[in-house]
């Protein structure tokens, strides 16, 4: 028998969300996520069936095109592959449980058994216009951040595209072995730190779009 004390497991960070793994078993993963006021979990897609429960505080849970404010005493169930993000818009600290069943790794292994191979996962990022004079600094950021992201398991490639319409706008294509490996990278502290660094160079917020490879033809 094991008793897990939520309060003892709380991890709050000034520079981003805190995450503590409470249970890590083949078919069950339970994390406790802690957010200071204004902190958030960025947009991503659920890589397993997820159940969310607030331990204390209140947060806004964006699931698909719906936003739900939730405090303790309720469960929010989120189907696999749903687009989701969470933000603490209150003035108090917030902690909530993320319960995944089965484990994301088990989902991927089962998919491999059925399909015979992992399907590649693609993220298309549309960057907003750059601030005047920041082009070289942005290109340097992309190069350095790509080196960091390339160290994450499942990374295949990260390509920067520049508009041919004379707008100076950029977009990026990120390829990963699977949705699971991409989401691990997407929710990592590396990603949070690197995108905070580039934010002052942009006239807005970068918008991610998620895809699975349906078909591929190469000559």
Two tokens at 34?
């802690």
**How many structural domains are present in the chain?**
2
Q: Is residue 190 domain-shared with residue 124, that is, in the same domain?
A: yes
Two tokens at 203?
């006239």
- Give the separation between CA 155 and CA 194, rounded to whole angstroms: 16
Q: Is residue 97 domain-shared with residue 165, that is, in the same domain?
A: no
Q: Is residue 124 domain-shared with residue 95, that is, in the same domain?
A: no
DSSP state of 201: G
Q: Is residue 159 domain-shared with residue 206, that is, in the same domain?
A: yes
104: containing domain: 18-108
**Last residue within a domain, chosen from 108, 134, 165:** 108
Predicted confidence (pLDDT) per residue in 52-74, tens digit: 999 999 999 999 999 999 999 99
Cβ-Cβ contacts under 8 Å for 114 (sequence gap 6 or more): none
Predicted confidence (pLDDT) per residue in 146-180, tens digit: 999 999 998 999 999 999 887 779 999 999 988 88
pLDDT, residue 25, reads 86
- Give the separation between CA 193 and CA 16, rounded to whole angstroms: 8
Q: Is 135 helix (H, G, I), strand (E, B) or coil?
A: helix
Q: 20 and 9 in contact (C-beta within 8 Å)?
A: yes
Q: Is residue 122 domain-shared with residue 103, that is, in the same domain?
A: no
Q: Is residue 207 domain-shared with residue 142, that is, in the same domain?
A: yes
Is 10 domain-assigned?
Answer: no
pLDDT at 113 over 50: no
Is 181 domain-assigned?
Answer: yes
Name the band, by pLDDT with cuts 50, 70 and 90, for residue 109.
low
Is 7 domain-assigned?
Answer: no
pLDDT, residue 48, reads 85
């Amino acid at each position: 028998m094991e008793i897990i004390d939520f309060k003892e497991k709380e991890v709050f960070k000034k520079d981003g969300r805190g995450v503590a793994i409470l249970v890590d078993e083949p078919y069950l993963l339970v994390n406790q996520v802690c957010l200071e006021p204004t902190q958030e979990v960025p947009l991503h897609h659920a890589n397993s069936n997820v159940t969310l429960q607030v331990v204390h505080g209140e947060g806004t849970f964006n699931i698909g095109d719906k936003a739900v404010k939730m405090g303790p005493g309720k469960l929010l169930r989120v189907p696999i592959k749903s687009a989701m993000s969470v933000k603490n818009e209150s003035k108090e600290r917030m902690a909530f449980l993320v319960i995944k069943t089965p484990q994301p790794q088990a989902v991927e292994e089962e998919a491999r058994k059925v399909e015979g191979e992992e399907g590649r996962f693609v993220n298309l990022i549309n960057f907003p216009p750059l601030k005047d004079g920041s082009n070289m600094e942005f290109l340097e950021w992309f190069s350095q951040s790509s080196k960091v992201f390339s160290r994450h398991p499942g990374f295949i490639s990260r390509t920067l595209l520049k508009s041919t319409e004379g707008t100076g706008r950029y977009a990026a294509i990120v390829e990963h072995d699977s949705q699971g490996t991409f989401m691990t990278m997407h929710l990592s502290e590396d990603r949070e730190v690197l995108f905070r660094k580039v934010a002052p160079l942009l006239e807005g917020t970068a918008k991610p779009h998620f895809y699975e490879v349906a078909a591929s033809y190469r000559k």
